[in-house]
């Protein structure tokens, strides 16, 4: 499903070159949930960007659902994202001028789905915001905004969902509720989940965990742990 081999990413600075990722390889199967854990500056966000095709690596390949995305053009990657990838961001990234409903409708409309309003409404009801359809992000709390973002992420029926610190901007309780929702939806839809976090508890809810430190990826305990029921 997602196959990464020997991924290296470097950034040129004025005086020298900074290596952010070094020889990263991993393979993720369809329907798996994976957490990548690391401290700030360890390279985990860069890795997520490369996996999702938001950026291209200096070396190595990323193969997503059969397509080598590191070899695709920006436009081809955009098409791939529109059809198969969903995102949840730490800072929600909702468009402030659109209502909750309109934010969720956006990817559906971009994908040419007929009557996008219906599906968007269903999804918002599913995440518990059926009463807040016409509120703009500014009128919603952080947890509510992230729930809208989750609804939007699942709107296009992605095969893989990337989440970047999805609870990073939320308090513990809200974070817990949001991660419950994310996991539940992931299970219902059979989506592959790749999540970057520094929250060990959240990471443990995923089937596999990777550590990343100074740009090097490792999988400490290769054991399949069933998700605890919360």
Angle between the 100-110 and 116-126 helix axes, to the nearest 10 degrees? 130
**Rule CB under 8 A: is residue 48 a binding residue for other proteins?**
yes
Q: Is 113 in the site for other proteins (CB under 8 A)?
A: no
One of 164, 178, 179, 181 touching other proteins (CB under 8 A): 164
Q: Three-state SS for 198?
A: coil
CA distance to 33, 51, 128, 144, 172, per residue, from 47 (Å): 16, 6, 32, 27, 26
Interface region with other proteins, contact rule CB under 8 A, candidates 21-29, 30-38, 110-118, 185-193? 110-118
CA count, 13 A, side-chain hemisphere, 4: 22
Which of 27, 55, 188, 213 touches other proteins by CB under 8 A? 55
Report CA torsion sign: 155, 106, 51, 178: negative
> How many residues sit close enough to other proteins to count as binding (CB under 8 A)?
37
Contact range with other proteins by CB under 8 A, out of 21-29, 49-57, 171-179, 203-211: 49-57
Per CB under 8 A, does 81 bind other proteins? yes
| Residue of 6, 83, 141, 218 that binds other proteins (CB under 8 A) | 83
Told to check if 93 binds other proteins by CB under 8 A, we report: yes
> Considering only 75-83, 173-181, 199-207, 215-223, which stretch makes contact with other proteins by CB under 8 A?
75-83
The Cα 221–Cα 185 span in angstroms is 26
The distance between the two most distant Cα atoms of the chain, rounded to a whole number of Å, is: 54
Backbone angles phi, psi at 64, to 5 degrees: -115, 115
**Chosen residue from 68, 110, 214, 225 binding other proteins by CB under 8 A:** 110
Token output for 63: 């193969």
Q: Point out which residues bind other proteins (CB under 8 A).
A: 45-46, 48-49, 52-55, 74-75, 77-83, 85, 87, 89, 91, 93, 95, 97-98, 101-103, 105-107, 109-111, 116, 156, 164
């Amino acid at each position: 499903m997602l196959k990464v081999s020997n991924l290296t990413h470097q950034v040129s600075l004025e005086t020298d070159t900074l290596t952010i990722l070094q020889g990263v390889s991993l393979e993720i199967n369809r329907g798996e949930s994976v957490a990548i854990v690391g401290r700030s500056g360890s390279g985990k966000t860069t890795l997520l960007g490369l996996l999702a095709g938001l950026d291209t690596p200096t070396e190595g390949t990323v193969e997503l659902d059969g397509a080598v995305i590191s070899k695709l053009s920006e436009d081809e990657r955009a098409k791939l994202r529109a059809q198969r990838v969903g995102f949840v961001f730490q800072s929600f990234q909702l468009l402030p001028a659109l209502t909750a409903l309109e934010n969720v409708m956006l990817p559906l409309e971009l994908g040419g789905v007929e009557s996008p309003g219906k599906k968007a409404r269903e999804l918002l009801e599913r995440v518990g915001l059926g009463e807040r359809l016409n509120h703009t992000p500014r009128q919603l709390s952080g947890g509510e905004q992230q729930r809208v973002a989750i609804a939007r992420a699942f709107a296009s029926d992605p095969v893989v969902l990337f989440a970047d610190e999805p609870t990073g901007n939320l308090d513990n309780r809200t974070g817990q509720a949001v991660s419950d929702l994310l996991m539940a939806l992931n299970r219902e839809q059979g989506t592959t989940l790749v999540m970057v976090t520094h929250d060990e508890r959240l990471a443990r809810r995923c089937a596999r965990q990777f550590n990343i430190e100074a740009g090097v990826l490792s999988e400490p305990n290769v054991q399949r742990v069933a998700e605890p029921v919360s």
